[in-house]
């Protein structure tokens, strides 16, 4: 009697290429690790809370060439629609998840009375590696170097591009813009 794991011609039956099966197993483990997030969302709708969930994985056999970073931030409150924001370097595609070279940072935008304040988490980045531009009503954030990040942040109003001020400390970027 033979089972699904029995070998024929020295190869396990029912397996794909070597590396591909391991990569699929790693991606499957990532999504199983986030399974509890859906359950948390139900209980958060009734409470005013924020939950952050993140992780990292490597695809076996590829070393640092395929490192995946993923995460979600969920903010809820009484009477508010829950806000789910994703960050990391894993993008969904019709063929399945893809690991990009550039990560999407976690960003907060605060619309204050006299201006806008944007904060972004950029761990491992020095201030010299950060490039900020304003283009078509959005703030474009890009970094260069070992840790690469990129994000287009749509601004809720018109700002004075010349008023752009920023500071960077301990991996947190803060950008201030004056409204027009």
Q: Classify domain 105-180 by CATH number.
A: 2.60.40.790
Q: Mean pLDDT of all residues in the chain?
A: 74
Which of 16-30, 112-126, 162-176 shows the lowest mean pLDDT across its residues?
16-30
Share of the chain above pLDDT 90, in %: 34
* CB 173 within 8 Å of CB 141: yes
Quick one: pLDDT at residue 13?
46
Q: What angle do CA 172, 174, 176 make, to 5 degrees?
A: 175
Strand 98-104 versus strand 83-91 pairing type: antiparallel
**CA triple 24-65-90, angle to 5 deg:** 55
**Which pLDDT belongs to residue 64?**
56
Query: Which structure tokens are listed for 47?
Result: 């409470």
User: Across 59-97, where does the E strand assignment appear?
Assistant: 67-75, 83-91
Of residues 45, 98, 102, 33, the one with CA closest to residue 72: 33
pLDDT, average across residues 48-76: 59
pLDDT 10s digits, 20-42: 566 556 666 656 555 555 555 55
Q: Are strands 130-135 and 7-8 parallel, antiparallel or unpaired?
A: unpaired
pLDDT at 131: 97
Domain chopping of the chain, boundaries = 1-101, 105-180
């Amino acid at each position: 009697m033979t089972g699904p794991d029995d070998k024929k011609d020295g190869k396990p039956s029912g397996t794909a290429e070597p590396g591909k099966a391991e990569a699929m197993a790693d991606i499957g483990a990532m999504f199983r690790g986030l399974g509890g997030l859906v359950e948390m969302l139900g209980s958060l709708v009734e409470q005013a809370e924020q939950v952050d969930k993140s992780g990292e994985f490597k695809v076996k056999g590829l070393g640092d060439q395929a490192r995946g970073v993923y995460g979600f931030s969920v903010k809820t409150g009484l009477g508010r629609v829950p806000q789910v924001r994703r960050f990391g370097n894993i993008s969904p595609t019709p063929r399945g998840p893809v690991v990009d070279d550039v990560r999407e940072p976690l960003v907060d935008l605060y619309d204050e009375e006299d201006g806008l304040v944007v904060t972004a988490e950029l761990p491992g980045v020095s201030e010299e590696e950060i490039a900020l531009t304003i283009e078509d009503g959005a703030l474009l954030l890009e970094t260069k170097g070992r840790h690469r990040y990129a994000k287009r942040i749509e601004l809720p109003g018109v700002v004075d591009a010349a008023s752009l001020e920023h500071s960077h400390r301990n991996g947190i970027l803060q950008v201030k813009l004056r409204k027009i």
